[in-house]
A = this chain, B = another copy of it.
Amino acid sequence: MFSKTFGYALRAAVFVVMQGKSGKKTGLQDISQSLDIPRHFLGKIMQDLVRQGILDSTKGPSGGFFVNDRTSETPLLDILKITDGNSIFNECVLGSKLCNNLHPCPLHHDFVVYRDEMLQTLTMKTLGLLAAEVKDGSSFLAR
């Protein structure tokens, strides 16, 4: 469905939100170990999140990643766009170049609905919301 990178990015971002409500920093090592994500690969992904303003970071001893003003209110869709690009929800499910509402492939109408549902979820849910869910034990980021 989505790339592994998206899963890594989302879980890592939620993890940082959980740790650092109050400016506390979270190191790459910590995230990577806690969530079982390849460390150096995660480094690249975190760079992107920082570059896009989803998170902030500082180098050096006791450095790491931390939340900024918009972090908690970031919709999951923003993460998806960063990791998987903008066109995920625009491409035909059968890969037909010319598929659209007026010239639909045989699955077009069905999947337009499913995609809209997903899009709604990804737009309404934010990193902060997910972090809260995980904190109160109703869902989990790892083991």
Q: How long is the Cα–Cα vector from A117 to B109 in the complex, in angstroms?
A: 13
Interface size class of A (residues with CB under 8 A): 35 or more
Contact of A106 among B8, B108, B113, B130 (CB under 8 A): B130
Taking CB atoms, residues of chain B closer than 8 Å to A111 are 1, 118
Complex alpha-carbon distance, A110 and B133, angstroms? 14
The 30 listed contacts between A and B (C-beta, < 8 Å) are A1-B93, A2-B93, A4-B95, A6-B94, A7-B92, A7-B93, A7-B94, A7-B95, A7-B96, A8-B95, A10-B94, A11-B94, A11-B105, A14-B106, A76-B107, A96-B140, A96-B141, A98-B140, A98-B142, A98-B143, A99-B140, A104-B139, A104-B140, A105-B139, A105-B140, A105-B141, A106-B130, A106-B140, A108-B139, A113-B117
Q: Which residues of B contact A103 (CB under 8 A)?
A: 140
Q: Is the CB of B121 within 8 A of A107?
A: yes
